[in-house]
């Protein structure tokens, strides 16, 4: 038979039910909170890269590459055929202007010099001999000319005498004709001697002039070799560092062969190259940015090679700070050619969030949330992106990759 439950027991049972219900309710609430935290999209703040939108100058650039080279580098070649006799400085050593770097054995050049001098003596002797010989011939012709003149004078007298005798019957027409013929022959011979004298003078002047030209040519050759011999002691034209030297003692060197390269390492320039895709953007006078160890040096494009080689265009950059401590010979650097720039524009740091589209979504941090925002992008470079609309100065933008959340309007930041 059933026993009646006391009121005290009923109260205890109710209390137990209330406690169990409360625990279950709390467990359900806690589980819902945990589930909500799992389902709600979130991203760790420590994993984000951000940039605050700011007002500043915006430069549009195209990328290039470059190498630092000395602004002044000299090549010294051998002035004569010679042999390396002594090397005073090696590559990497500093030299002062006027210091000798190499000494050459110039024996062969000296032999050539002496040979030319001897040939010049012979030429001068030829002039003397020619002058004497021509003058002797001319003197002989002058003597013949004088003798012929006297003979003609005598023949003229003889003709007059024959004509006088003919007039008084003491001679004949034949004698007069013979006297006239003899006179005419003598006059022609005199004219011939005169022509020979003129020809001899002209020949003498032409031969002397020709020898004079030859002597002048030899004088220039002698002076040229003399100057080369003076320069045979290879010395530095200015202060610098030897970057290369032919240090092979005893090596035979031909005239014009390279012996030494000297660089002035107090100032530098940049030799750059860029894809021919951007060939129209590379112009003399344009600003270029040279980046070395996160430091930017400004410069201007000085000259552009007209030919395209292997799909690249080569150009030189004159740096504003040519003696920066960051500059090292043969150092490879990043170069950015500035194609345009704007003042007082909204910009943020460039990052993976920007995909190159003109219209795109970015996430702006608002409190503990990253809120999707549509923006219009303008110019860009390796450092900054121009924002034409959608952002205000002072707003913080996520610049790291957010492609996984691009379909959401809001993302929680943990």
Tell me, yes or no, whether 274 and 294 share the same domain: yes
Two structure tokens written together for 188: 């022609």
CA 314/CA 37 separation, integer angstroms: 57
Of the candidates 336, 354, 229, the one whose C-alpha atom is nearest the C-alpha of residue 278 is 336
pLDDT of residue 52: 92
- Domain assignment present for residue 86? The answer is yes
Tell me, yes or no, whether 406 and 313 share the same domain: yes
CATH of the domain at 245: 2.40.50.100
CATH of the domain at 388: 2.40.30.170
Strand-pair category, 384-389 with 369-380: antiparallel
pLDDT in tens, the chain (414 residues): 455 556 666 666 667 676 776 766 676 655 545 544 445 678 887 888 899 999 998 888 889 999 999 988 888 888 777 778 888 888 888 888 888 888 776 665 566 666 666 676 776 777 777 777 777 777 787 888 788 788 878 888 877 777 777 777 777 778 878 878 887 888 888 788 788 878 877 777 777 777 777 777 777 666 666 666 565 567 787 888 888 888 888 888 887 888 888 888 888 999 999 999 888 889 999 999 999 988 999 999 998 998 888 899 999 999 999 989 899 888 999 999 998 888 889 999 998 888 888 899 999 999 888 899 999 998 888 888 999 999 999 999 999 988 888 888 888 888
Tell me, yes or no, whether 399 and 267 share the same domain: yes
Tell me, yes or no, whether 139 and 182 share the same domain: yes
Q: Are 294 and 28 in contact (CB under 8 A)?
A: no
Tell me, yes or no, whether 312 and 399 share the same domain: yes
CA 85/CA 253 separation, integer angstroms: 11
The number of folded domains in the chain is: 4
Tell me, yes or no, whether 140 and 221 share the same domain: yes
CA 109/CA 112 separation, integer angstroms: 5
- Domain assignment present for residue 74? The answer is no
Of the candidates 258, 245, 262, the one whose C-alpha atom is nearest the C-alpha of residue 102 is 245
Tell me, yes or no, whether 208 and 344 share the same domain: no
Tell me, yes or no, whether 56 and 124 share the same domain: no
Strand-pair category, 240-245 with 233-235: unpaired
Taking the CA atoms of the chain, what radius of gyration do you get in angstroms? 53
Tell me, yes or no, whether 276 and 358 share the same domain: yes
Fill in the DSSP letter of residue 320: S
Tell me, yes or no, whether 10 and 84 share the same domain: no
Tell me, yes or no, whether 52 and 176 share the same domain: no
Return the axis-axis angle of helices 107-168 and 173-230, rounded to nearest 10°.
170
C-alpha distances in angstroms, 98 versus 66, 101, 256, 258, 263?
33, 9, 20, 18, 15
Tell me, yes or no, whether 150 and 177 share the same domain: yes
pLDDT of residue 266: 85
The boundaries of the domain holding residue 142 are 109-230
């Amino acid at each position: 038979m059933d026993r009646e439950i006391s009121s005290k027991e009923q109260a205890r049972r109710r209390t137990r039910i209330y406690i169990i219900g409360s625990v279950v309710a709390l467990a359900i609430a806690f589980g819902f909170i945990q589930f909500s935290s799992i389902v709600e999209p979130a991203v760790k703040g420590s994993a984000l890269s951000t940039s605050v939108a700011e007002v500043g100058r915006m430069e549009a650039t195209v990328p290039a590459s470059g190498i630092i080279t000395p602004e002044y580098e000299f090549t010294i070649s051998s002035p004569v055929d010679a042999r390396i006799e002594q090397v005073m400085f090696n590559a990497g050593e500093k030299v002062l202007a006027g210091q000798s770097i190499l000494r050459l054995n110039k024996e062969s050049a000296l032999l050539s010099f002496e040979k030319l001098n001897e040939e010049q003596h012979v030429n001068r002797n030829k002039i003397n001999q020619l002058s004497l010989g021509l003058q002797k011939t001319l003197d002989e012709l002058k003597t013949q000319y004088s003798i012929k003149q006297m003979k003609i004078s005598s023949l003229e007298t003889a003709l007059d005498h024959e004509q006088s005798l003919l007039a008084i019957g003491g001679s004949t027409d034949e004698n007069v004709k013979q006297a006239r013929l003899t006179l005419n022959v003598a006059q022609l011979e005199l004219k011939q001697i005169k022509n020979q004298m003129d020809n001899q003078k002209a020949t003498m002047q032409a031969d002397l002039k020709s020898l004079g030209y030859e002597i002048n040519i030899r004088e220039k050759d002698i002076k040229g070799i003399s100057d080369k011999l003076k320069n045979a002691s290879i010395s530095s034209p200015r202060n610098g560092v030897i970057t290369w030297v032919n240090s092979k003692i005893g090596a035979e060197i031909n005239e014009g062969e390279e012996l030494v390269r000297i660089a002035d390492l107090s100032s530098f320039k940049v030799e750059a190259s860029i894809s021919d895709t951007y060939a129209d953007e590379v112009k003399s006078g344009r600003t270029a940015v040279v980046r070395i160890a996160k430091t930017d040096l400004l410069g201007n494009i000085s000259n552009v090679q007209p030919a395209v080689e292997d799909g690249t265009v080569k150009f030189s950059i004159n740096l504003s700070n040519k003696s920066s401590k960051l500059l090292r010979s043969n150092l490879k650097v990043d170069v950015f050619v500035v194609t345009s720039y704007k003042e007082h524009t909204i910009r943020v740091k460039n990052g993976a969030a920007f995909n190159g589209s003109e219209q795109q979504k970015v996430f702006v941090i608002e409190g503990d949330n990253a809120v999707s925002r549509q923006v219009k992008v303008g110019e860009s470079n390796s450092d900054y992106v121009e924002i034409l609309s959608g952002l205000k100065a002072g707003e913080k933008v996520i610049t790291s990759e957010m492609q996984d959340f691009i379909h959401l309007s809001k993302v929680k930041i943990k």
